[in-house]
Structure formats: structure tokens, C-alpha cells
Amino acid sequence: MQQRNGKKRQADFRNYNDDTEQNPAKKAKLDEVKATYEKGQQTQTLAHVESRKKEYKQTDGYTDRNGNKVRMSVKDILKLLESICDSSDPDTSEAQSLHSLQTAESLKEHLDPNDLTKIKNIPVKDIFTQERWNQLPNAYKTKFKNATLASLYSHITDWSWLPLIGLLHDMGKVLAHKRMGGLKQHEVVGDTFPVGAPFAPANVYYKDRFFEKNPDLDFSKSKSTGNRFGIYVKHCGFDEVEMSWGHDEYGAWLLENNINHFPAEAFYLIKYHSFYPWHKGGAYSELANDKDYMTLPLLIFFQKSDLYSKRDTPYTKQELKEKKEYYEQLTEKYIPCREPTPYNLRPGKMLL
């Protein structure tokens, strides 16, 4: 059910079990979503992840099927996203380019309108749901209780990068385009989860038992080693964990390995923004370390703009024109692509 102004309530988002008997279009969309998750949860294995990382995360860039190195600008990538629609997303049927701009604009609203380098006074505790707050260790409740985003991340003095990361957070979905090998959607989109570790009940569709057909099921339970954390050490940190392959991993790597002026938090947001079992459900806490907990408030804050900004309403040509200059200036500021680097073979072009 939507509000009269056409905007959805928060409870309407990520509803995978809506009553669709009277809405054939909604049923067809949810069937597509479920099929995407089913295939992904059955095939995302440690071996698969290692294979895709070897193929795409090359030090000299991605090589297409014709043996050519692919080079594209940010503008090129965003253009390709106009033809990609996320088959795992129950909340929109529009192209990724629209969703990316909506996310960026939502994040921009959290900046000081008189100084877009500053973030508004946002209490950290207010970012959490009560349920997620209750799951936090007491030490982090104490740290977060009276903090704001600005005070918690006091080393960040210029927040103007945040809307740009909103615009670029799904750029890894370019993997689904034929120029990048045209990967199937189940290995590009959807919630991410650790491989090589037990599959948590907080994963969407877990009750449908799709994971039971995953070849890593016994391996992830570590029956042979007796380690309930799979191949990992307790509180090793998510950066030491192999995540299911997809647009998060690739998009973060892509930006980080090109000349940029982003803070480290920007790459973290991209890499884990689809890790819903953790930032929404509190799962996999046994693998999280201090960095993961300290970045969690910013991750949840970011994800609210990613999730709740979705509308199937395109911007007008005039609106797009007005926003274009703003984001072009931010791109020039944070991804100048001018300094000599092995990852920047041509000015203005990015390593893919």
C-alpha cells in the first residue's frame, strides 16, 4: 500500500512476500526476484568467487572476449547502466541510472544546503532501528550513544563525496552488460553474503532452502574442521572474508584502483552496501571487527538513501540538465584521472 502522494512507506520496501494475487505485474516481478536469488544462492561458491576475481580484478584491466582491454569513463559506465534493470530488486523496474541518481539526490539532502562540504547534525543512535541497536555490543552503544556522524567520523572534513558515491555505488552492475562479458544477473545483483562460512538465516529467502543445493554447504559448515566460522578466524573483519561475487565487490575495487580522492569509507560503503544480512539483520557478527562496527552507522545511513529513494518516476530533461553540472564537478574533484598511474592509461578513462 502506498501513500496518497505516490511515495512508498518504509515498510513497503524489500517486501518479498507481498500478497500479489490481485496484481499480476507484481507477482511476475517477485517471481523474477525469487528466481534470481535461487540461482545465486545455489551457485555462489568460494571457487566461483575466486574465478571471477581472477577474471575481472586484473592489475592491467579487464580483457574482453576479443582480447581488448576495456577502458571507459564514468560517463560511459553510467550510460551503460541505462540499459540495465536489477532483476533482484522488488522495489523498482526502472534502469539503474535512475536509481543511482535518486540515491545521490537523497544523500545530497543530508548535506548542509549552505555548505555542501558539511553534513547535517545527524545523531548516530537515530540511524539504528531499535532492534539493530539492541544487537550492538555494549562498547559500541557507549561510543555511538551521544555521537553524530560528523563527530564519529571527525577525520572527514569534506562530505561532498557522499552524493557522488550514491551516484556511483551500483556502477559494478556494468558487469551485466555485454561489453563486460554480460554476466548473468544472479552473479551481479542481489544481497551479498560470505562464502566459506555458514549461511546465516538472516539471508533473504533462507527459509526456501536454496542454499541447500550450494556445493559449499558442507564446506561452509566446516564439518571436517569443526570450525563454526568456516575458513575464517573469529572477528577477522569482513575485509578478510570472501564475499559472494557481484557489483559491490567490483564497483569498490574499480574506484579504489583508479586515481581518486575519496576517503576510505567511500569504498567500504560500496563494497558492503548489499550486505543486508549484516547491516540490517545483525548476522555474521562473529566475523566483524572494530572497523566493521565503527563503519556500521555510516553504512546503515547510506543504505537508507539507497533503499528508500526508489521511485519509478523519471526526472524531466530540465531536472537532469540542472543536476548534470553538479555531478560532473564532483567527478572532476574526486576522480580527476590526470596523474600518471598504471590504472589510468588514457586521461579521463577508467580501468575496468
What tens digit of pLDDT does each residue of 222-238 get? 444 456 788 999 999 99
pLDDT at 3 over 50: no
Is 14 inside a domain boundary? no
| Residues facing 63 on adjacent strands | 69
336-341: average pLDDT: 62
pTM above 0.85, yes or no: yes
Which range marks the domain in which residue 180 is found? 45-351
Separation CA 267–CA 262 (nearest Å): 8
Question: What is residue 14's predicted lDDT score, i.e. its pLDDT?
Answer: 52
Question: What is residue 91's predicted lDDT score, i.e. its pLDDT?
Answer: 58
Is 8 inside a domain boundary? no
CB 10 within 8 A of CB 308: yes
pLDDT at 6 over 50: no
Question: What is residue 224's predicted lDDT score, i.e. its pLDDT?
Answer: 44
When the pLDDT of each residue in the chain is averaged and rounded to a whole number, the result is: 86
193-212: average pLDDT: 95
CB 48 within 8 A of CB 245: yes
Is 295 inside a domain boundary? yes
> How many domains are contained in the chain?
1
What residue has cell string 543445493? Answer: 213
Question: What is residue 311's predicted lDDT score, i.e. its pLDDT?
Answer: 63
Separation CA 136–CA 98 (nearest Å): 34
Cα angle at 45 between 41 and 46, to 5 degrees?
Answer: 150
What residue has cell string 515498510? Answer: 11
pLDDT at 34 over 70: yes
CB 103 within 8 A of CB 167: yes
Which run of H or E residues covers position 99?
helix 96-108
pLDDT tens, residue by residue, 269-280:
999 999 999 999
23-31: average pLDDT: 79
What percent of the chain is predicted at pLDDT more than 90? 62
Evaluate the CA torsion angle 151, 10, 315, 271 in order and state its sign: positive
| Residues facing 115 on adjacent strands | 112
| Three cell numbers written together for 7 | 511515495
| Residues facing 72 on adjacent strands | 350
